[in-house]
A and B are shown apart, each in its own frame.
Chain A
Amino acid sequence: MIITCPFCGPRDSSEFVYREEGGRTRPDPSSTDQAAWNAYIYERVNTAGDHEETWQHSGGCRSHLRVLRNTVTHKILDVTLARETGKVEKPA
């Protein structure tokens, strides 16, 4: 599999590690909502189809990537740098 890192260009999947299902929101650090924390840490959507994932280019620039990948066809539809997607939660 080839993942096109926005910085490094197309690279072999052996240079990357899968980290997390993407598009999830970490509760505010001071939040005491146990259910929200449980959901963040343990619950996954695990979509069959287009799926947002967080990968790290661990064998390259080490950036975290937001990868939109179809888990059925393995086709990668989009890759952006995680810190530039603006989808992450900003703590209060």
Chain B
Amino acid sequence: MLYGYGGHILRVDLSRGSTVREKSDPAYLRKAIGGRGLNSWRLHDELPRDVDPLGPENMLLIGVGPLTGSLLSSSAYMTISGRSPLTGILGDSAAGGFFGPELKQAGYDQLVITGRSETPCYLVIADDRVEIRDASHLWGTDLWQATSAIRKELGDNAFQVAAIGPAGENLVKFATVACNNGRMCGRTGMGCLFGSKQLKAVAVRGTNVVTMADSLAFLDLSRELDRRILDHPEWQKRHDLGSPLLMNALNGIGILPTNHFQKGVCDYVDRVSGETLAATHKVKNKSCFNCNVHCSRYYVTPEGEAEGPEFETLCSYTSRIGVDDLRFALRMASFLNRMGMDSLSSGETIGWTMECFQRGLLGPEDVDGLDFTWGNKETVEKVLDMIVRREGIGDAFAEGTRSLAQRFGRGTEKWALHVKGLDVICGDPRGIKAFGLTYAIASRGGDHLRAEPFFELTGRYDEAERRWGVRDIADRLSNNGKAVLVEHTERQALLTDCMTMCKNIGLSMDVLDFEFAARLLQAGTGLDFTPDRMTKSLRGIIDADRRLNIDLGIDASMDTLPYRFTDEPLEEGPSKGQVVPVKKMVKEYYELRGWGPDGSPPSKEG
């Protein structure tokens, strides 16, 4: 028996309507660990390199890990992967909530979905019973309606539903997949991938149990981790505010994206901060599976109620586009969630257009007469609706910022803030250098979660010296030693994605080191996950991702940042005068990874 793991891989071919349940291969799992790592190796080994991202041959993978759905706090995650319709390279996006644990309890480590259904469909998994059902009547429904309708049809409210909204159906390149309405796989357009396969949803219900190899040892380790979390100095704040705490935190160090990163300080932050959200509209805490931080929140306003929003959405629809209205941001967050569209990428198309208006590079005549003045809420609302329906100029916006800028040209490309086609997140890298390096090298494009080098924000100089021998690693403005930090935390981030655990806890709260994780994995699976073997596996996955991405068209010249972050110093605030010396850092990073100067990993795996 395979402990910890679900034990099966489910292969679904939507073109043929076939489903095959295979046993998981322990040797493959040891190499891939699980979750994102398992998806990455599957793509590396099986994805045809010339595949059209929207074609039937593209693979849609949903992976969970050996500790998903276990006694371990925040073991809630799952990752969806495939060739990204937005970027054309490796695409993946993770979400917490309850879908991952349910998939595990149904007995699976991974779903491998290929093909394209002739008519809209949804996949139902109830333990070992799998069925592809017609979804013609659900096509066009928003996420809240679809989720309710599916549960009603299946006669069981306890089904966990990962679904797409109209944006995914209409192949908006940055469409999301939502788990039970509230938990988003937001980035790289995995919802578009669902839509391209005419797959409206995956509904799963598991009645098995997650059994560990050494339950008592695993219990002790889980309790030890609980203590580390509960005793953490940031616990209370994370509990009270969740990720929106970053509005004020980032503003305080001068890196809160304001008017599309032209400023790092927002003078109306108090009107749109996490503190204000908590004080005015939050009615209670919400949580993912088996978490003891409970960082999410439920809010109620006279216009509506929902779970959310997280920081990236809040910032994308306030300071990043010049809006000082919290209730507006909540309304947009809710709209995006119901339509199934990513807030970061949609927000960047809007922020970029507003900056192009400011610079006189674009005008109303370019965008169906819409007025993209900073903070024009009416325009924002209108264009989002047009993007979802791909109506008028919304059709061009739906292709993403990189494509949109290429379409207009005239020097607008310079202000498109993406790396490898993925729009950068809400954190100005000029004041957080390790994050800058992370955006540049992240295997899915301009994103922080691949390494989340939170340590540079902690000011723990002695600890930096103890761990890596470089004190400057704890100084956010220094680039010294940041490649060392990123090389380290990139493995740590991958590890949490493989196990699968929340990165806010495993990584940002710094409660999970490799030795401890190895003990958890050993107690959980009974397999010989020594720290050395684990490190080898993690490096192997990072190299596999890189080889895949090179095959899909990236090269070293793309491991960089947009002009703004490398050449345009911030003009005011606590990060004044800063830029990211990205070339130097990337070079150091390649060396630490064992990659050549052209960014190529060794050609042989292992």
A interacts with B: no
Q: Which residues of A contact B (CB under 8 A)?
A: none
Q: Which residues of B contact A (CB under 8 A)?
A: none
